[in-house]
Amino acid sequence: MSSSFGRGGAAFLRPGRGAGKLLPYTRCASAKYHPVRWRAPLLCVAVAASLVPCAAAETYTYRLDPAATTIRFVLDATMHKVRGTAALERGEIRFDDSGTAGGEVVVDATSLDSGNAKRDRDMHEKVLESERFPDIVLIVDGFAGVFDAKSTSEVAVDARLRIHGEEHPLELEMTLVPRDRRFAASTSFVVPYVEWGMENPSKAFLRVAKQVEITIEAEGTLDVAGTGDAESASRR
């Protein structure tokens, strides 16, 4: 058998009439006889494209740690401010890079404490009716902004607050910060409790504001979906 490589380089198959005949690469003057010349670059592009993974939104689960989460409230009153705390029962929020989010942060309404027994009794019996409505729930519906698991992120969260048996829309400015393989989240918002149908506890010589300021400083773990690794998000 004669060699398929002649003087001047490699040979290739000429398509069409006479297919199967080996032609020297350098002797073919017409581009239409160089299928390898035109198809090879296209093949390389196709192969390269197939190696690029499809972009997909990263999915996270943020689980709040009740022991490391602080909830405070401040109420303006005559000549002073009423300050108190509340206890987190549980909290889990699922979200992705696209702004889709869902989850709940549940606060024990019976745990609200301002440090004054008489005042707290009025708060629970007359304002919150906490025996009847034992949970205060922050429901997360979505967010706007860019989340970065490796640095501080500022996002606007669409939420609802379920309190005293009713739900009310909220938009929260929230800060998320990676911290020692955990994540911290903080936000503050105002609850106009009188406008929302709760009793004003003001008395003749003691007037209080009709709204209360809430601050949440939470800490917890952030998991990336599919990894089962609570530390993975901050390492990525």
Give the model confidence (pLDDT) of 70-103 as tens digits. 999 999 998 899 999 999 999 999 999 899 999 9
3-class DSSP assignment, residue 157: strand
Q: What are phi and psi of 52, to 5 degrees?
A: -85, 120
Domains of the chain, earliest start first = 11-51 (no CATH), 59-235 (2.40.128.110)
Residue 126 amino acid letter = K
Largest CA distance in the chain: 115
Check if the beta carbon of residue 103 is closer than 8 Å to that of residue 93: yes
Check if the beta carbon of residue 22 is closer than 8 Å to that of residue 9: no
Check if the beta carbon of residue 141 is closer than 8 Å to that of residue 159: yes
- The pLDDT-based confidence of 30 (bands split at 50, 70, 90) is very low
115 pLDDT higher than 50:
yes
Average pLDDT over residues 33-51: 50
10 pLDDT higher than 50:
no
**Token duo for residue 24:** 């020297």
- The pLDDT-based confidence of 33 (bands split at 50, 70, 90) is very low
